[in-house]
Amino acid sequence: MGSITATSKSPIDVSNVEILSFTVTDLRFPTSLDGVGSDAMHVGTNGSHPYIRLITNHPNLIGEGIAFSNGRGSELICMALQIFATRVVGKTLHELTRNMGKTFRYMVSDSQYRWLGPEKSVTHLAVAGVLNAVWDLWGKVLQKPVWQIVCEMTPQEIVSCIDFRYITDVITPEEGIEMLEKTQKGKEERLKEAWENRAVPAYTTSPGWMAFSGERMREVLAETIAQGYTTFKFKVGTGVEIDRERLKAVRDVLGYDGKYQIMIDANQVWSVPEAIEYMKHLVEFKPVFIEEPTNPDDVLGHATIRKALKPYGVGVATGEAAQNRVTFKQLLQAEATDVCQIDAVRLGSVNECLAVMLMALKYSVPCVPHNGAMGLTELTSHLSTIDYIAISGRKSMLENADSHRENLRHPSRIVDAHYVTPLEPGYSTGYTEEALRKYVYPDGEFWRSEVGQEIMRAPTGGEL
């Protein structure tokens, strides 16, 4: 089920590539076995990839895309992918890429399915999955990674990828072009950094999962320090004293001399007053920010928390569950976040991520994409490269958490705490034959095994 791309010896014109059909596969990886992905809100998660393949009129030229879930719910996204993929069947790649902003608008314009959103939740995850596959296909035809396609665009071409509906009160296409023209300065130097694998610094969540014991946390922390990491993220929210003990153990290793930084992440577990009071007990450990301190839709709540924590030198980060560009617009307008954590599969693919990058640039807020799972890190390594080279010109950092990467055909790599710039044509999506044999849900080899069946029978959470 792999894919072979067009080669430079036999280039394929986008107008000669037609999408004929598609397949959708429910892939689920048993991350609950090692605690990767665990936090105060999400327990026993199994990182899952609703996976779409766009079949074209050229044998083995396939566009691959994913959405994401924590396990249960993937079947809903796969159903939505089946629905939204029909909108690109029969289209040529030229029709879909000649005006990507218009293509985004087309993908969200089914008036009946739109009522279920609009532009949010399961339907928007499906739109992202299909558009991710379109971008992947475009890269394979052009023989370029997706980040390079965008970075070679003019400011006008980048702006044409964005649907500005609902955000022109903050930024207009004309203003976007003007901002991007200023970013052209120094672009060649930034491109050189990308080719040298120095464009995207990495931080890691690997030691910080909630399920890790103190001993396991210290072990992974030592490993990641040895790999060159200087910035680490830890999950919090199960109890003040428990978190104080964990963070004290972290600072006992890292110290307070400024060489190492930590961030903490509550994953939506608190109300606004709880977040403020709880964080007063953790500020002594000097976190750079608290991530998702409350419900992701509560823009004004985030603003209240940010204002309360500012005297302590602690920022607020959010966005991994922000439903669309409108939520990010409001977060920025309300001065509710210090960091925009765009998500490659919750927002409407590269198109909507570009919209948020531009708004964040206007408000001088860094974009630090959400990761935390394999598959996402591959996509966001493109997005962070795009933001640095073509949009903001500001070097930020990108989360990394290593798990189940052996199942990917194009896994991201970290060298000297920097992402290795992806060079394979496309959007770094695709799975090994073994992964497809083992982890298709519910009939793959692993899910039919005794361990797989036990995971499937696990409690679903909550109490009465």
Among candidates 64, 26, 23, 65, which has minimal Cα distance to 47? Answer: 26
CATH of 186-433 given 3.40.30.10, 3.40.630.30, 3.20.20.120, 3.30.1490.20: 3.20.20.120
What is the spatial distance between Cα 146 and Cα 205, in angstroms, rounded to a whole number?
26
| pLDDT score for 66 | 98
- Cis-peptide, bond into residue 118, ω within 30° of zero: yes
Beta strand ranges found along 137-293 (DSSP E):
202-204, 231-235, 261-265, 287-291
**Which fold, 18-169?**
Enolase-like; domain 1 (3.30.390)
The question of whether 235 is a catalytic residue gets the answer yes
The question of whether 259 is a catalytic residue gets the answer no
Q: List Cα–Cα distances, 139 to 71, 224, 352, in angstroms.
A: 29, 33, 18
Q: What are phi and psi of 150, to 5 degrees?
A: -70, -40
Tokens 């379109």 locate to 134
Looking at the chain, how many residues does it have? 464
| pLDDT score for 44 | 75
Name residues of the chain where pLDDT drops below 50. Answer: 1-9
Q: How many CA atoms lie within 13 A of 171 on its CB side?
A: 28
Alpha carbon 208 to its chain centroid, in Å, reads 18
Domains 18-169 and 186-433 share a fold: no
| pLDDT score for 243 | 94
Domain boundaries, the chain: 18-169, 186-433
Pairing of strands 339-340, 315-318: parallel
Summarised one tens digit per residue, pLDDT across range 316-363 is 999 999 999 999 999 999 999 999 999 999 999 999 999 999 999 999
Q: What angle do CA 239, 240, 241 make, to 5 degrees?
A: 95
Catalytic residue among 49, 124, 235, 382: 235
Catalytic residue among 329, 370, 382, 410: 370
- The residues facing 339 across adjacent strands are 317
What is the spatial distance between Cα 286 and Cα 294, in angstroms, rounded to a whole number?
20
| pLDDT score for 37 | 64
Radius of gyration of the chain (CA): 21
Q: What count of other Cβ atoms lies within 10 Å of the Cβ of residue 20?
A: 11
Q: Do residues 348 and 127 lie in contact, with contact meaning Cβ atoms separated by under 8 Å?
A: yes
Q: List Cα–Cα distances, 410 to 5, 140, 227, 405, in angstroms.
A: 14, 13, 21, 9
